[in-house]
């Protein structure tokens, strides 16, 4: 990987240190991007087996980029901006992530038992403390050096009072859907608060700064978003908080917000529209977490926003519009494309055109079954699901074009959920007016199903805003409702998500990346529990015994694949399984952000 010359306007050159070695970086780059641009793909090692870890999503979701930055462990390198003199250390590795002396542990990963933490090292009793002393050195995420100067900086004395939120409707998500919902609800007369986590309003899309590479869809998206944002900011009935996180719904009713202005509200006294969109998903196949397996949105960001060439030769997994747009980005970056892989039996006209123009193959009815490479990707083994034939394709970059709806807030609110592959995974059950099964909770846009057009996201936002306002007594012309629903029908051309494959050679693919849990470990525990007939707590017990869903990503990367794997082995529908508890916060916070009392001047709650 290297920087593409003259592709983007870079900030001032700065110098950072990675594991004692200097690296050139530029202001406004994230730590992760600067390290990738320096040609280093391995940012860290995994907790259990010391496998190489790199960025996957670049949106703060997958938590595979955790690094010690300026003495503070577990910071997401994909979200942290560099500064001159910054000191960065890779975690779980000695002496560094690229050459980790403990990498040999991985060779035994197939022989180590899943429940190792619970069932072993207990006897003889007198040796237990000695075992623990050694084991502790290999566990825990990151090391906190209490003598780091950064920890002795006095806390800010500026009070951050916790407000009771007064708005009738809170909207989580400030992209096309959320902003459309806000305008629609406010035009009906409701008071609205929009919370948007990111400081820039691009959804998860890259800025696409390189003018030669702008596609018309994206331009339309940006101009629509800008238009909506201007209207939202001008509207007297709407408050718009950027950089504000709806951290979760506590005890099913308390909405907690952390931002420059902190707040709390209560369901159902306040209505909630969830328009949080989708995040990147990864199928299960052997070596599915090797550096060089990147989400399409990360690859687009590397090229368009940071001017970094992500690899020499790419294999693209997916057949949706995301696959076409990432192919366009790769061509611009002069990365060769080996071809496209899709589980679908046929592909859209657009993808066929792109493949024909490039003179590359589309492997339909196929999945990536295995990836070869020690420290990073060298080639992929593609399997045809109809005839079982295998094909090896050389690539140093595998681009994953799969998405899944975000589901955490829906679960916190207690909404009834269904597993729907056409929508991309776990989604809330809603009626045709986008009301969930929980009173005054509504879901719209990609949080309710991926592969939606921008028009449909807007239409759903308008409908959700209208219905949420109407349900609390702000009625508007009934004819409008008919207009909105017919608009939605017009745009709701059925588009199916690329189905996520969970095949993996001998179950060796990883499902949980935070805790290194492989597919066969889940299946083994599933069989054991079936024999023990502990049906009621089945998924909860598998979680406790394997550690899946308990890592820093809080299940975002693994919950859907976990349910898919159980369902396939038991010949069930994934909706059959109880979903283990999903706890707030939805995204990591500083402990100080939650502190009450003297720390933050919060004495009012
Ligand atoms: S790459 Fe940083 S959280 Fe996914």
Between 3.40.50.2300, 3.10.20.440, 3.90.1150.10, 3.30.70.2190, what CATH number should domain 2-146 receive? 3.10.20.440
pLDDT of 160 > 70? The answer is: no
pTM, full prediction: 0.89
From the CB of residue 421, how many other CB atoms can be counted at a distance below 10 Å? 15
Would the CB of 62 count as within 6 Å of ligand 1? yes
The pLDDT assigned to 31 comes to 97
Would the CB of 554 count as within 6 Å of ligand 1? no
From the CB of residue 518, how many other CB atoms can be counted at a distance below 10 Å? 24
How far apart, in whole angstroms, are the C-alpha atoms of residue 484 and residue 248? Answer: 30
Backbone phi, then psi, for 380, in 5-degree steps?
-125, 145
The pLDDT assigned to 215 comes to 57
Contact residues for 507 (Cβ-Cβ < 8 A; gap 6+) = 518, 519, 520, 521, 523
The pLDDT assigned to 467 comes to 94
Backbone phi, then psi, for 21, in 5-degree steps?
-110, 140
The closest alpha carbon to 271, from 181, 196, 175, 198, belongs to 181
**What pLDDT, in 10s, does the model give residues 129-140?**
888 887 777 777
Q: CA 323, 325, 331, 333 torsion: positive or negative?
A: negative
pLDDT of 505 > 60? The answer is: yes
**532 CA from centroid of ligand 1 (Å):** 38
In this prediction, what percent of the chain has a pLDDT beyond 70? 87
The closest alpha carbon to 321, from 201, 203, 450, belongs to 450
**Range ranked top by mean pLDDT from 173-177, 344-348, 491-495:** 173-177
The pLDDT assigned to 111 comes to 75
Which atom of ligand 1 is found nearest the CA of 55? 1
Helix (H) or strand (E) holding 119: helix 116-119
Helix (H) or strand (E) holding 238: strand 238-242
The pLDDT assigned to 257 comes to 81
Backbone phi, then psi, for 344, in 5-degree steps?
-70, 145
Across 170-194, average pLDDT:
94
Q: Which of the two residues, 400 and 490, has the higher pLDDT score?
A: 400
The pLDDT assigned to 117 comes to 58
Which SS3 state, helix, strand or coil, does residue 52 take? strand
**What pLDDT, in 10s, does the model give residues 278-321?**
999 999 999 999 999 999 999 999 999 999 999 999 999 998 88
Strands 2-3 and 308-309: antiparallel
Contact residues for 564 (Cβ-Cβ < 8 A; gap 6+) = 500, 502, 574
> Which residues share a beta bridge with 264?
164, 256
**77 CA from centroid of ligand 1 (Å):** 7
pLDDT of 267 > 80? The answer is: no
pLDDT of 8 > 50? The answer is: yes
- Same fold for the pair 286-400 and 505-570: no
Q: Which of the two residues, 17 and 346, has the higher pLDDT score?
A: 17
Burial (0-12, 13-18, 19+ Cβ within 10 Å), 499: middle
The pLDDT assigned to 301 comes to 93
Which atom of ligand 1 is found nearest the CA of 63? 3
Q: Where are the domains of the chain?
A: 2-146, 162-277+406-491, 286-400, 505-570
**298 CA from centroid of ligand 1 (Å):** 9
Which SS3 state, helix, strand or coil, does residue 94 take? coil
Which SS3 state, helix, strand or coil, does residue 571 take? coil
pLDDT of 597 > 60? The answer is: no
Most ligand 1 atoms within 8 A of CB, residue of 34, 55, 279 to mutate = 55
How far apart, in whole angstroms, are the C-alpha atoms of residue 510 and residue 538? Answer: 20
Say whether the peptide bond before residue 369 is cis (omega within 30 degrees of 0): no
The pLDDT assigned to 212 comes to 37
Would the CB of 56 count as within 6 Å of ligand 1? yes
Across 22-48, average pLDDT:
94
**What pLDDT, in 10s, does the model give residues 419-473?**
999 899 999 999 989 999 999 999 999 999 998 888 888 889 999 999 999 999 9
**64 CA from centroid of ligand 1 (Å):** 5
pLDDT band per the 50, 70, 90 thresholds, residue 604: very low
Residue indicated by tokens 């506590």:
250
Across 34-47, average pLDDT:
94
Q: Which of 351-360, 383-392, 406-415, 431-440 has the lowest average pLDDT?
A: 351-360
pLDDT band per the 50, 70, 90 thresholds, residue 205: very low
The distance of Cα 485 from the centroid of its chain, to the nearest Å, equals 30
Q: Which of the two residues, 147 and 206, has the higher pLDDT score?
A: 147
Would the CB of 282 count as within 6 Å of ligand 1? no
Which SS3 state, helix, strand or coil, does residue 228 take? helix
Would the CB of 58 count as within 6 Å of ligand 1? yes
How far apart, in whole angstroms, are the C-alpha atoms of residue 231 and residue 238? Answer: 10
CB 258 within 8 A of CB 245: yes
CB 446 within 8 A of CB 277: yes
Query: Any idea how long the chain is?
Result: 605
CATH number given to 505-570: 1.10.10
pLDDT of 384 > 70? The answer is: yes
Which atom of ligand 1 is found nearest the CA of 57? 4
Most ligand 1 atoms within 8 A of CB, residue of 31, 52, 64, 67 to mutate = 64
pLDDT of 352 > 80? The answer is: yes
Helix (H) or strand (E) holding 524: helix 519-532
Q: Which of 80-84, 168-172, 592-596 has the lowest average pLDDT?
A: 592-596
The pLDDT assigned to 216 comes to 61
Across 6-19, average pLDDT:
91
Domain 286-400, classified CATH 3.50.50.60, yes or no: yes
Which two tokens mark 113? 């038992």
**312 CA from centroid of ligand 1 (Å):** 22
The pLDDT assigned to 507 comes to 84
Which two tokens mark 584? 């707030």
Across 93-108, average pLDDT:
88
Strand residue runs (E) in 450-541: 510-512, 517-518
Would the CB of 78 count as within 6 Å of ligand 1? yes
Would the CB of 65 count as within 6 Å of ligand 1? yes
The pLDDT assigned to 296 comes to 95
CATH topology of domain 162-277+406-491: FAD/NAD(P)-binding domain (3.50.50)
Across 383-387, average pLDDT:
93
Would the CB of 301 count as within 6 Å of ligand 1? no
**What pLDDT, in 10s, does the model give residues 509-561?**
999 999 899 999 998 888 888 877 666 668 888 998 888 998 899 899 999 99
Strands 66-69 and 52-53: unpaired
The pLDDT assigned to 178 comes to 95
Would the CB of 26 count as within 6 Å of ligand 1? no
The pLDDT assigned to 501 comes to 81
The pLDDT assigned to 441 comes to 96
The pLDDT assigned to 211 comes to 37
Which atom of ligand 1 is found nearest the CA of 65? 2
pLDDT of 253 > 50? The answer is: yes
Would the CB of 204 count as within 6 Å of ligand 1? no
What does pLDDT average to over the chain?
86
pLDDT of 255 > 60? The answer is: yes
How far apart, in whole angstroms, are the C-alpha atoms of residue 596 and residue 544? Answer: 31
Q: CB-side exposure of 370: number of CA atoms within 13 Å?
A: 13
Most ligand 1 atoms within 8 A of CB, residue of 35, 54, 63 to mutate = 63
């Amino acid at each position: 990987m290297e920087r593409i010359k003259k592709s983007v306007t870079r900030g001032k050159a700065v110098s950072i240190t990675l594991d004692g070695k200097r690296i050139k970086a530029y202001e406004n780059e994230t730590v992760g991007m600067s390290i990738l641009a320096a040609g280093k793909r391995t940012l860290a090692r995994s907790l259990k087996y010391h496998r190489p870890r790199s960025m996957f999503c670049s949106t703060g979701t997958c938590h595979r980029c955790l690094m010690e930055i300026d003495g503070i462990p577990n910071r997401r390198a994909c979200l942290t901006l560099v500064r001159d003199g910054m000191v960065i250390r890779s975690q779980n590795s000695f002496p560094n992530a690229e050459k980790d002396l403990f990498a040999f542990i991985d060779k035994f990963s197939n022989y180590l038992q899943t429940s190792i933490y619970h069932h072993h090292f207990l006897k003889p009793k007198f040796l237990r403390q000695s075992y623990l002393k050694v084991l502790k050195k290999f566990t825990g995420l990151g090391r906190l050096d209490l003598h780091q100067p950064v920890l002795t900086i006095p806390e800010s004395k500026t009070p951050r009072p916790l407000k009771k939120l007064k708005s009738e409707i809170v909207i989580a998500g400030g992209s096309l859907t959320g902003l459309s919902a806000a305008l629609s609800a406010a035009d009906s007369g409701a008071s609205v608060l929009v919370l948007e986590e990111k400081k820039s309003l691009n959804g998860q899309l890259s800025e696409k700064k390189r003018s030669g590479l702008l596609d018309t869809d994206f331009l339309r998206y940006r101009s629509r978003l800008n238009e909506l944002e201007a209207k939202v900011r001008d509207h007297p009935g709407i408050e718009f908080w950027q950089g504000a996180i709806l951290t979760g719904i506590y005890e099913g009713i308390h909405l907690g917000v952390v931002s420059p202005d902190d707040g709390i509200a209560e369901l159902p006294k306040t209505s909630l529209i969830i328009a949080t969109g989708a995040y990147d998903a990864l199928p299960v196949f052997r070596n599915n977490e090797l550096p060089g397996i990147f989400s399409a949105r990360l690859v687009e960001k590397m090229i368009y926003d940071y001017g970094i060439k992500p690899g020499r030769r790419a294999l693209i997994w997916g057949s949706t519009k995301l696959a076409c747009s990432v192919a366009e980005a790769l061509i611009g970056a002069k990365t060769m494309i080996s071809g496209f892989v899709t589980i679908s039996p046929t592909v859209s006209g657009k993808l066929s055109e792109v493949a024909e123009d490039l003179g590359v193959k589309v492997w339909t009815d196929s999945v990536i079954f295995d990836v070869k490479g020690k420290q990073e990707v060298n080639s992929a083994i593609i399997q045809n699901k109809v005839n079982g034939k295998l094909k090896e394709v050389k690539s140093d970059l595998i681009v994953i074009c799969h998405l899944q709806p975000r589901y955490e807030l829906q679960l916190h609110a207690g909404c009834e959920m269904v597993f729907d592959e056409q929508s991309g995974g776990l989604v809330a059950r809603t009626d045709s007016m986008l009301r969930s099964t929980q009173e005054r909770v509504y879901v719209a846009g990609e949080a309710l199903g991926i592969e939606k057009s921008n028009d449909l996201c807007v239409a759903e936002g308008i409908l959700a805003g209208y219905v949420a306002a109407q349900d609390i007594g702000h009625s508007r012309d009934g004819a409008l409702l008919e207009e909105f629903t017919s608009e939605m029908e017009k745009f709701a051309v059925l588009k199916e998500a690329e189905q996520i494959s969970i095949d993996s050679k001998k179950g060796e693919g990883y499902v949980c990346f935070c805790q290194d849990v492989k597919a066969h470990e889940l299946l083994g525990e599933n069989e054991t529990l079936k024999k023990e007939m502990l049906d009621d707590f089945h998924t909860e017990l598998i979680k406790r015994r394997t550690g899946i869903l308990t890592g820093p990503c809080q299940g975002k990367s693994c919950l859907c694949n976990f349910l898919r794997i159980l369902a396939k082995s038991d010949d069930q529908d994934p909706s059959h399984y109880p979903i283990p508890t999903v706890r707030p916060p939805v995204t990591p916070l500083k402990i100080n952000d939650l502190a009450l009392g003297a720390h933050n001047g919060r004495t009012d709650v």
